[in-house]
Amino acid sequence: MSKKVVTFGELMLRLAPEGYYRFVQAETFGATYGGGEANVAVSLANYGLDAKFVTKLPKHEIGQAAVNSLRRYGVDTTYITRGGDRVGIYYLEKGASQRPSKVIYDRANSAMCLATKEDFNWDEIFEGAEWFHFTGITPALGDNVAEICLEACRAAKERNITISCDLNYRNKLWSKEKAGEVMGKLCEYVDVCIANEEDAADVFGIKAADTDVTTGTVNHEGYKDVAKQLVERFNFSKVAITLRGSISANDNKWAAMLYNKEDFFFSKNYLMHIVDRVGGGDSFGGGLIYACMNNFDPQQTIEFAVAASCLKHSVEGDFNQVSVDEVMKLSGGDGSGRVQR
């Protein structure tokens, strides 16, 4: 039997103009589905784990299509509560060169945003699970959802389930103050903390020196201190920080650091031509969880997570459609992109 992982969050309809068309030019939208925790679940299902995604989605056909998008890739959707009126939406315009990608959210009042405690039976959901994952987006959906999140963390902790959280700060959803307060409570339960180069500063005011994300300058060394402070405050067993250097909308540098309270492990650096940037962080989380659950050593862990997310940047859609073999091949050193016949 495969190991069980549970992730909890919102699954949104993603509406994106084809190719590099701008919103105002679009006559069709590609209709896929995505969301931080669902993206992680798909990654893990693709790696062969028994990944369960928990959320609330309407009973109508758009809700059903959202559910189907996960079933298609092997995610267990048994614990998705059906009800409510709308599927949250995000519009995505893909950037190019100096023109950034643009996201317009239309997620207020979605079924998940209006979910209640009664919608989820955590005892049933966590039956046999080894790992629980959520991101900072979930509690940001509303006080009710933050409360459910807390309940889930408590239930997971009681069962000795490892909890990971990707800080994932979204300024359209809540203020830094509010985020700091709510996430502060939740992080008490968290074992593995994931963050990008800005999250710790946004949520907890913990900053890396000498870094300006808008110029592509990321001071890798400065993040050692960020990780240390995070561990000091929350006693995380592991902190993983992704380090993106944005050269242009098409070209990014990509690496990450893992801190296991003993040492710092830096991954290889990748220079990526980007096919689809969204879900890049989530694919890192997915890789990290897989590596941890399979007891990779720290260096292997961070290499696996970074290689997984490096590959994600070459895949269309929120979901990372790669196998363990493919990640292993890249983390093992072959990034030449030669045709596989």
In the window 122-151, what residues touch a second copy (CB under 8 A)?
none
Q: Where do we find the tokens 């961070």? A: 302
What is the residue-wise DSSP string for 171-240? Answer: TTT--HHHHHHHHHHHHTT-SEEEE-TTHHHHHH----TT-BGGGTB--TTHHHHHHHHHHHHH--SEEE
Of 108 and 209, which CB lies nearer to a second copy in the complex structure? 108
Of 74 and 228, which CB lies nearer to a second copy in the complex structure? 74
Q: 91 near 23, Cβ under 8 Å? A: yes
78 counts as binding a second copy under rule CB under 8 A: no
x/- site string to a second copy, residues 6 to 25, per CB under 8 A? ---------x--xxxxxxxx
* Total interface residues for a second copy by CB under 8 A: 88
Residues in 167-196 that interact with a second copy by CB under 8 A = 170-172
Q: What is the rounded distance in angstroms from the CA atom of residue 115 to the CA atom of residue 148?
A: 9
Q: How many CA atoms are closer than 13 Å to the CA of 53, on its beta-carbon side?
A: 33
Contact residue for a second copy among 99, 159, 207, 224 (CB under 8 A):
99
Of 163 and 179, which CB lies nearer to a second copy in the complex structure? 179
Of 71 and 261, which CB lies nearer to a second copy in the complex structure? 71
83 counts as binding a second copy under rule CB under 8 A: no
216 counts as binding a second copy under rule CB under 8 A: yes
Of 184 and 333, which CB lies nearer to a second copy in the complex structure? 333
Q: What is the rounded distance in angstroms from the CA atom of residue 244 to the CA atom of residue 197?
A: 7
Of 96 and 209, which CB lies nearer to a second copy in the complex structure? 96
Contact residue for a second copy among 124, 160, 263, 339 (CB under 8 A):
339
Binding segment for a second copy among 138-146, 183-191, 288-296, 333-341 (CB under 8 A)?
A: 333-341
Q: 169 near 139, Cβ under 8 Å? A: no
Of 28 and 235, which CB lies nearer to a second copy in the complex structure? 28
Q: Where do we find the tokens 């710790």? A: 200
Of 24 and 262, which CB lies nearer to a second copy in the complex structure? 24
Contact residue for a second copy among 3, 228, 316, 324 (CB under 8 A):
316
Residue 250 DSSP symbol? S
Which regions of 43-148 does DSSP assign to beta strands (E)?
50-54, 56-57, 81-82, 89-93, 102-106, 131-135
Binding segment for a second copy among 59-67, 114-122, 221-229, 291-299 (CB under 8 A)?
A: 59-67
Which two structure tokens, joined as six digits, stand for 142? 């509303």
CB atoms within 10 A of CB 310: 28
User: What values do phi and psi take at 64, rounded to 5?
Assistant: -65, -40
101 counts as binding a second copy under rule CB under 8 A: yes
Of 32 and 260, which CB lies nearer to a second copy in the complex structure? 32
Q: 243 near 272, Cβ under 8 Å? A: no
68 counts as binding a second copy under rule CB under 8 A: yes
Q: What is the residue type of 32? A: T
Contact residue for a second copy among 41, 153, 305, 322 (CB under 8 A):
322
Binding segment for a second copy among 49-57, 58-66, 159-167, 200-208 (CB under 8 A)?
A: 58-66
Contact residue for a second copy among 65, 201, 231, 328 (CB under 8 A):
65
Residues in 241-280 that interact with a second copy by CB under 8 A = 246-251, 270, 272-275, 277-278
Q: What is the rounded distance in angstroms from the CA atom of residue 287 to the CA atom of residue 217?
A: 25
Helix, coil or strand: residue 43: helix
Task: State in angstroms the smallest separation of the CB of 231 from a second copy.
Answer: 27
Q: What is the rounded distance in angstroms from the CA atom of residue 247 to the CA atom of residue 213?
A: 10
